[in-house]
């Protein structure tokens, strides 16, 4: 099994596709599943997500370019058609008798950054470095996709091999799943843009327990974190300032200076009061404005993000940030228009599932160390799915699978130790099986 | 004569070339002069300017593109070769006996802005609208080039027709030039980038009196401004901030935020104290920074300009601006590197020449109104040439030639009333002739 | 005459009283006039000014303190009563036959600053240093008051001596005034607070020509500036920000930070665009806010001033300043309340009077140099009276009387050369006499 | 006992003395102790503290005023002498046989704020409202002092009554202390200025276990918090900016604007990056600058505070704040000088003591609810003493004694429910006795 998963992971690594451009990736996963797993349902692209809830979708030109690039590889045309306009991702369903519906969420997108060509970088040395210049799987989502396929395969086999005559104790702890398994291959996590569209789809509604997974995060191969917490709720916010241009030498008084407005906003955004209820964040991550040295700038833009330890704290920051920007614009007699970009709420891992994962992990070959909890300290839109399940009365848990990674996440030399793919498959399929029995 | 000048002007209008890209323009003017005027010398491109003093030169790629475009029109290859790498412009010399050296400066570059295709816009209606998308002669430099050619022709003819046997009183006031005429066809005025390179060339050294000319400036056809003043000295200044990126959610404290530095700089740049000695200006005309919403910005940039009613006031602003920027960077633990861009000093028109121009204009057919002085209120790098002449003990004067222009300068519907080309030629050649007699 | 004026000036110097606290000063001038000049009318305090137009009046406590101090010197109680509540100043009227009404405005207030006790400082050496600690005549208004008295005396005598039987040519050029003279002893110039109250009084209405005077201004003894110009219009503006306090450690998010609002305002006030029509100024001259290190500041205050080369430019700055402050407050969720303080318009000296003063000065003993014009470069509320007269169809002129002053204006060692008092009396009374004849 | 403590508390309430001005307070406590408790040692004023480590001491004039006020009440002159120059506070020592040295820290200073005279405010109604206008015991330190005295009395009696022949079980749980008790009556807590001077004195060196106490903190009468945590480390920082004044109308360019520097500093201080390691705070609590509307401000001042969840985080904020201020000053060509004011480190309550306090509290009459832990969310300089003890190998714990308080801490209507004084005495003396037995 592993060697197939490694091949799959390497193929995906070679063709990293950033958010909402996972055309090849989606098609490749679909083909892999069809050839290897006896699925009950496979929802692809527009059938897998609630398209109207996609966030941070690139423009048509950008989408078209990646779409054509994927088509050129010869992937299945019918599959491709269902992905048109950046409707990527899949939901794979296995039905194996009575029991709860267990979900697993894996993300599949790459990052818009170049990959190292240093011979010490394994993908470069072994020939599966990114063929898409300027794009890279620098956060392990290629491994996540492989784990998703592997878990489906493991559970499919466990179900098939289930012999009613044997007592459950005679069977291995991870070989008698009973219920429904749904694996969510989620697009666009890196821009926190895809989680909402899956959380709003019908597929999440009947999920009783959801697991999500991430490799690495500074945990070494052989270490499992049963329940990751500390997700900061996040929202992206774009502000476009419009003033009025004027000749900077001749009539500065006739301008309404959008760059002054933007600068006043930036200065005061970072000065939004810290909040006693927990961590808050704000960042004016991208700014630009003006057209020429001798023209009072008519236009400026801030792409900001706000975060909070809770969704409420993020909303506090969002409210304050808009207020600050609005008044900075007004101060310089500019108009300002907001576009809300991607977002994700905060979420916590339920103790009930954390206990199961910890216990299963402790019994899994290759796992040397199990941490019950750790903090992420960043954001993740798996939280949309986690909260959707929790709000429906279900439980959710975000699992960390350690992997030795030479470079940090999002850097040019990030890579995964492929041994961790098996660990992920084993721990997750074991936990899924256990959940199915526990909740029956 | 006029119809040839109009044809020339329209041909140049059809092929506007922005700063340092005047390859077709230079070659066309050279060809025109060679076919119509019996010049003593024609210096082209690298022979016309001090290349090392060019300011605000575009990058090689940009230059190469416009160079090839010009070549494709079939202009003279030898001429083109002397323009390589953006060494554009010409100096044409007529020697007509004993007497002072009089200079005339005209500029020849277009602007990087689209031209209107409204049928009410004459160039669109009459078929000489810009064929270079995104570029336009929107400030009348096409007419300036035509005036330069016309003045050379007029003086050349006046000298030729000079009959020693006739008394000066029998001859018309504008037909007996004696001395040397140099016409400076200056590139790159719009970026205040070309004036210095002509002022530093050897050609300016022996000029005793210099005239410069501009059409329009809100003066109607038939109006002449004998001496324009109020040039603000100007300098462009680019500041590149370098900080350190960090994950905006996970470790904001590890960043050194270049956008915060830039915003602090902008806020305080506009707050540089006003100066009692005269007008000062500062503008952060173009800014940008950061790479992604969730990354503490590592880089930012300000393209600023400073101006002053005098060169000293501009230097005051420059010193204060750099100081402000440097400390804003330091405040946010960023480095900053400066690039000085284009610049121009202030200058004033000498009364002696103003009187001559006013008097000649008052006697010129078609001129209905003569203003002695007006203020420009902006910047112009003709001032480099004016000051170079004045510092050598000569005199200089900037002449305005009114022209009805439907749209404002630098707008998509700017156009000139071609009748004003003749006015320019007549007033300037008349004044040049008078200067030659006055200073003998 | 001079020795009396010098005694008067020194007595006033010894008892400097800042704006609206000129209780002793007013009473002393009234007593002086009553004993030495045969006035037709003397309006004192509430009869001299339009009280409701006083600007920048101190609080009652402050006024009461100075009032009692003046009373303790034994000045006339009836006079004092008419000054209650800070209604200071006088208008003295001489009627001398048919003719125009000529006004002279002198100001009489001191400054709230300590005086040098250096023995090299003449007032210290000669025993007339300020006896009011923290107050000083550091701008020569003591000399102005003496000049006002001297001019009344001179004109009174000239009128008395007028012998109808003598031809005008037999009489000295400065001895036959015919008309009405009004001398305005104006309070509160230093805070630009008193000019308006005199300009709005009935006394100004019939003035046909107004002279105002200032000694020093970096002109030496013996130099007269016939017409001073370049008054910047000015307005004082106080902004009080109110936010909400909170514990800075426990609940910073519950605060609405008035100091942040104030700082944002200050940063952006200085960044109000320069105006092409002329000089503009803004200054956040006094700021304060907050109550303790550990409390989010609930209150803050800016005492600002705006100026303009014209009243329109001052209004532009005022409008922009309020807009900036209002939005800075809003940005930090604070309220802001404005109080308009003192103000003065711009004004210019009429050429007609400038010519008269220049001519008279040229014939005056002790005057060695006459400048026609100079620029003040600051503000003065004599402009209220000048404009009032000009708007009524009259003329106005602001005269500079040179005096050697060891320290600069407003410094601890400022002093006047008392010889310039005579120069002022002679030039002004001569000019007043000439005006009366010219306008008849 | 209680009625004496209530009398004492009310007498102190009537004469609140802010930081380092506790002259009457110290003398009164000394007299009370001498008359009621058989102490082994009583260190007063300069003998109780390490004077050179006092922080935030007021100026001599201020100290002298309060000193004389205290003297006027007729307190003991010898005691007063030892308090000269603001050396206030006491350390009282009881030696009762073998055993550990247990410390109790109570603070004794009032606040510089007026007290309500509303008849609904008990101190007003019952005649013990502050007689020092503008000062008030608005944080319960009057009750703390009474508790300190009460605990000494209780332990003194317990030791005295100890009958060796009785078994320990026959004696009450809080009546057989064996060891040494030191009560630290600490001055100047409200300005976090006194803790260091006691922590640096010799008296703390042999303390094995330290308790500190605070009433109220939003906990009702009958509630005890066994171990309060969440002290933010804090430091006060004063920055004085010096620029250069200039006439704001005449020569703004000659100024170096200290208010602009201050405003730039404030804007950027609040923008110091949040830190992932925990809570951080910054506040520009008091600012001021400038002298007059028409003078470019020469001087400005910021009184700021920085805090951190740990001392390291506070140091991070301190470093960043100074860096920001220094560069803001440099940006506007101003100098800046720093004065470090008061400070306090962070600290945590040791579980060992928390357990003891919780257990004792659970058995104490009148205590209805015991919380093991709560967060302060502010700062307290008891942490200096806690850390000193902990660094010496001892343990420390900060105990909360609930009290119904009608107004919030530091407000005009704050008051304590005097019943809580007994709760404090009982819980603390019980815990001290238990500690002495546990650690033997």
Q: Does A101 touch chain C (CB under 8 A)?
A: no
**Residue contact B268–C268, C-beta within 8 A:** no
Q: Could A253 and C271 be called an inter-chain contact, meaning their C-beta atoms sit closer than 8 Å?
A: no
**What pLDDT, on the 0 to 100 scale, is given for residue A162?**
46
User: Cβ distance C392 to C205 under 8 Å?
Assistant: yes
| C-beta of residue C186 within 8 angstroms of C-beta of residue C344 | no
Structure tokens at A66: 């990646």
Question: Would you list the DSSP string of C258-313?
Answer: HHHHHHHHHHHHTTSPP-TTS-EEEEEEEEEE-S-TTB---EEEEEEEEEESSHHH
Per-residue pLDDT tens over the stretch C249-274: 989 999 999 999 999 999 999 999 99
Q: Does A281 touch chain D (CB under 8 A)?
A: yes
Optimal mutation site among C249, C273, C296, interface A, most CBs of chain A within 10 A: C273
Inter-residue contact C177 to C436 (CB < 8 Å): yes
Q: What are C340-380's pLDDT values in tens digits? A: 888 999 999 999 999 999 999 999 999 999 999 998 878 99
Say whether residue C119 is in contact with chain B using an 8 A CB cutoff: no
Cα D115 to Cα C291, D138, D190, distances in angstroms:
17, 8, 16
Question: Per-residue confidence at D161, pLDDT binned at 50, 70, 90?
Answer: very low
**How many C-beta neighbours within 10 Å does residue C68 have?**
10
Q: Which two tokens stand for residue C242?
A: 């109110």
Instruction: Inform me whether the pLDDT recorded for B140 exceeds 90.
Output: yes
Token pair, residue A371, equals 């941490």
| Cβ–Cβ gap A316/C253 under 8 Å | yes
Mean pLDDT (chain B) is 93
Residue of B nearest to A113 (CA): B291
Rg (chain A; Cα; Å): 23
Domains of chain B with bracketed CATH: 2-230+347-438 (3.40.630.10), 233-343 (3.30.70.360)
pLDDT at B411 over 70: yes
Measured between beta carbons, the chain C residues lying within 8 angstroms of B273 are 270
**Residues A294, B248: C-beta atoms closer than 8 Å:** no
How many Å apart are CA D260 and CA C268, to the nearest integer? 10
CA distance D225 to C66: 59
Residue A274 near chain C (CB below 8 Å)? yes
Mean pLDDT of D198-211: 97
Per-residue pLDDT averaged across D43-50, rounded? Answer: 97
**Chain C partners (3+ C-beta pairs within 8 A):** A, B, D
Q: Which residue has the tokens 């005694």?
A: C7
Binding-site residues of D for Mn(2+), in ranges, read 139, 141, 190, 214, 410
Of B291-300, C253-262, D168-177, D398-407, the range with the lowest mean pLDDT is D168-177
Instruction: Report chain C's terminal Cα–Cα distance, integer Å.
Output: 29
For residue A253, is it left (φ>0), alpha (ψ between -120 and 50) or beta?
alpha
Q: Residues B259-311: pLDDT tens digits? A: 999 999 999 999 999 999 999 999 999 999 998 898 999 999 999 999 999 99
Q: Which of A276, A323, A331 sits opposite C324 (nearest CB)?
A: A331
Q: pTM of this prediction?
A: 0.89
pLDDT of C167 above 60: no
> Cβ of C328 under 8 Å from any chain A Cβ?
yes
What pLDDT is attached to residue D74?
95
Chain B residues with CB-CB distance to C270 below 8 A = 270-271, 273
State whether residue D323 sits within 8 Å of chain B by CB. Answer: yes
Best CA proximity match to A329, nearest among A236, A283, A263: A263
Average pLDDT, chain C: 93
Dig out the tokens for B142 from the structure.
Answer: 């096409």
Strand C90-96 with B395-401, pairing: unpaired
Question: Which residues of chain C neighbour D296 with C-beta distances below 8 Å?
Answer: 283, 285
How far is it, in rounded angstroms, from Cα B111 to Cα C381? 50
Question: Distance from A300 to chain C by nearest Cα, in Å?
Answer: 17
Tell me, what's the pLDDT at A31? Answer: 97
- Rounded to the nearest angstrom, the gap between the alpha carbon of residue D252 and the centroid of all alpha carbons in its chain is 47
Q: What is the pLDDT of residues D411-438, one digit of tens each?
A: 899 999 999 999 999 999 999 999 998 8
Which member of D248, D263, D281 has the closest CB to residue C249?
A: D281
Interface of B with A in 240-259 (CB under 8 A): 247-252, 257, 259
Report whether A334 belongs to an annotated binding site.
Answer: no
The tens digit of pLDDT for each residue in B38-52 reads 999 999 999 999 999
Strands of the B299-308 sheet, one edge to the other = A335-344, A233-242, A299-308, A280-289, B280-289, B299-308, B233-242, B335-344
pLDDT for residue B159: 54
The pLDDT of residue C175 is 52
Look at residues C421, C423, C410, C424 and name the one whose alpha carbon lies nearest to residue C378. C410
* Smallest CA–CA distance from D234 into chain C, residue: C249
Of B271, B274, B377, the CB nearest to C280: B274
Q: Do D271 and A267 touch (CB under 8 A)?
A: yes
Q: Does D56 touch chain C if contact means CB atoms closer than 8 Å?
A: no
Prediction ipTM score: 0.85
Query: Please, which pLDDT band fits residue B157 given cuts at 50, 70 and 90?
Result: confident
Tell me which residue in B285, B286, B294 faces A285 most closely, judged by beta carbons. B294
* pLDDT the model gives residue D288: 97
Q: How far is D197 from chain C (nearest CA, A)?
A: 21
Question: Which chain D residues have a beta carbon less than 8 Å from that of C298?
Answer: none
**Tokens standing for residue D17:** 């003395």
Handedness of CA C307, C310, C311, C315 (dihedral sign): negative
Q: What is the pLDDT of residue C159?
A: 54
Contact state of D275 with B252 under an 8 Å Cβ cutoff: yes
Q: With contacts defined as CB-CB under 8 Å, which chain B residues touch D268?
A: 260, 264, 331-332
Name the residue of chain D whose CA is nearest to A281's CA: D274
* pLDDT given for residue D166 in this prediction: 38
Mean model confidence pLDDT for chain D: 93
Contact list in A for residue D270 (CB cut-off 8 A) is 270-271, 273
Q: What does the pLDDT read at residue C12? A: 98
Which residue in chain A has the smallest CA separation from D377?
A276
- Is B132 assigned a ligand-binding role in the annotation? no
* Residue D167: predicted pLDDT: 40
pLDDT of residue B423: 97
Overall average pLDDT of the B341-352 stretch? 94
Q: Which of D267, D274, D281 sits opposite A267 (nearest CB)?
A: D267
Q: pLDDT value at position D440?
A: 56
Within 8 A by CB and 6+ apart from C400, the residues are C213, C214, C215, C217, C219, C223, C224, C225, C228, C371, C374
List of chain C residues whose C-beta atoms are within 8 Å of the C-beta of residue D262: 263, 266, 287
Closest-approach residue (CA) in chain B for C274:
B281
Cβ contacts of D281 on chain C, cutoff 8 Å: 248-249, 252
Q: State residue C2's pLDDT score.
A: 76
pLDDT per position as a tens digit, D287-346: 999 988 989 999 999 999 999 999 999 999 999 999 999 999 999 999 999 998 889 999
Kindly tell me if the per-residue pLDDT of B164 is higher than 70: no
User: Largest Cα–Cα distance in chain C?
Assistant: 93
Does C126 score more than 90 pLDDT?
yes
Residue A440: the pLDDT is 56
Longest CA pairwise span in chain A (Å): 92
| Nearest CA-CA partner of A368 in A157, A219, A163 | A219
Q: Which pLDDT does position D136 carry in this prediction?
A: 96
Ranges of chain A with pLDDT below 50: 1, 161-174
Work out the average pLDDT over D173-190. Answer: 87
- Are the CB atoms for C207 and C439 separated by under 8 Å? no
Q: Do A253 and C260 touch (CB under 8 A)?
A: no
- Can you say whether residue C139 is alpha, beta or left, with left for phi > 0 and alpha for psi between -120 and 50 degrees? alpha
The answer to whether residue A280 neighbours chain D at the CB level (below 8 Å) is yes
Would you say C92 and C49 are in contact if contact means Cβ atoms under 8 Å apart? no
Does B139 count as an annotated binding residue? yes
pLDDT on residue B78: 95
Tell which wins on pLDDT, C341 or C426: C426
Q: What span, in angstroms and rounded, lies between the C-alpha atoms of D204 and D221?
A: 31
Structure tokens given for D375: 């967060």
Other CB atoms within 10 A of residue A74 CB: 9
Contact C273 B270 (CB under 8 A): yes
Average pLDDT of span D20-33: 98
- A77 part of contact set with chain D, CB < 8 Å: no
């Amino acid at each position: 099994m592993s060697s197939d998963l490694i091949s799959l992971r390497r193929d995906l690594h070679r063709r990293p596709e950033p958010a909402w451009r996972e055309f090849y990736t989606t098609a490749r996963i679909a083909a892999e599943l069809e050839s290897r797993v006896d699925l009950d349902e496979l929802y692809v692209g527009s059938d897998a997500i609630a398209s109207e809830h996609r966030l941070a979708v690139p423009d048509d030109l950008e989408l078209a370019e990646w779409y054509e690039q994927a088509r050129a590889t010869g992937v299945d045309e019918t599959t491709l058609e269902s992905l048109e306009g950046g409707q990527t991702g899949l939901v794979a369903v296995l039905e194996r008798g009575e029991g709860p519906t267990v979900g697993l969420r894996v993300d599949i997108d790459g990052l818009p950054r170049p990959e190292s060509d240093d011979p010490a970088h394994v993908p470069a040395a072994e020939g599966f470095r990114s063929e898409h210049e300027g794009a890279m799987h620098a956060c392990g989502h290629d491994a996540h996709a492989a784990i998703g396929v592997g878990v489906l395969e493991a559970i499919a086999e466990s179900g098939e091999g289930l012999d009613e005559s044997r007592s459950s104790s005679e069977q291995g702890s991870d070989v008698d799943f009973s219920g429904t398994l749904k694996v969510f291959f989620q697009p666009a996590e890196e821009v926190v843009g895809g989680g909402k569209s899956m959380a709003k789809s019908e597929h999440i509604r009947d999920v009783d327990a959801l697991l999500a997974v991430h490799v690495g995060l500074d945990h070494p191969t052989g270490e499992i974190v049963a329940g990751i917490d500390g997700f900061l709720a996040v929202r992206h916010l774009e502000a476009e300032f419009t003033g009025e241009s004027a000749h900077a030498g001749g009539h500065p008084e006739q301008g309404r200076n959008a760059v002054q407005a933007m600068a006043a906003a930036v200065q005061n955004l970072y000065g939004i009061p810290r909040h006693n209820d927990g961590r808050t964040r704000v960042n004016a991550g991208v700014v630009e404005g003006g057209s020429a040295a001798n023209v009072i700038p008519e236009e400026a833009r801030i792409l900001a993000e706000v975060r909070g330890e809770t969704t409420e704290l993020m909303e506090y920051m969002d409210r304050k940030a808009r207020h600050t920007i609005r008044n900075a614009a007004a101060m310089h007699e500019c108009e300002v228009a907001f576009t809300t970009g991607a977002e994700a709420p905060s979420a916590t891992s339920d103790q009930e599932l954390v206990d199961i994962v910890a216990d299963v992990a402790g019994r899994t070959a290759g796992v040397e160390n199990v941490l019950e909890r750790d903090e992420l300290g960043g954001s993740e839109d798996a939280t949309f799915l986690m909260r959707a399940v929790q709000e429906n009365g279900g439980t959710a848990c975000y699992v960390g699978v350690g992997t030795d990674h030479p470079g940090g996440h999002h850097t040019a030399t990030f890579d995964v130790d492929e041994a961790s793919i098996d660990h992920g498959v084993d721990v997750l399929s074991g936990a899924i099986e256990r959940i199915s029995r526990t909740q029956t």
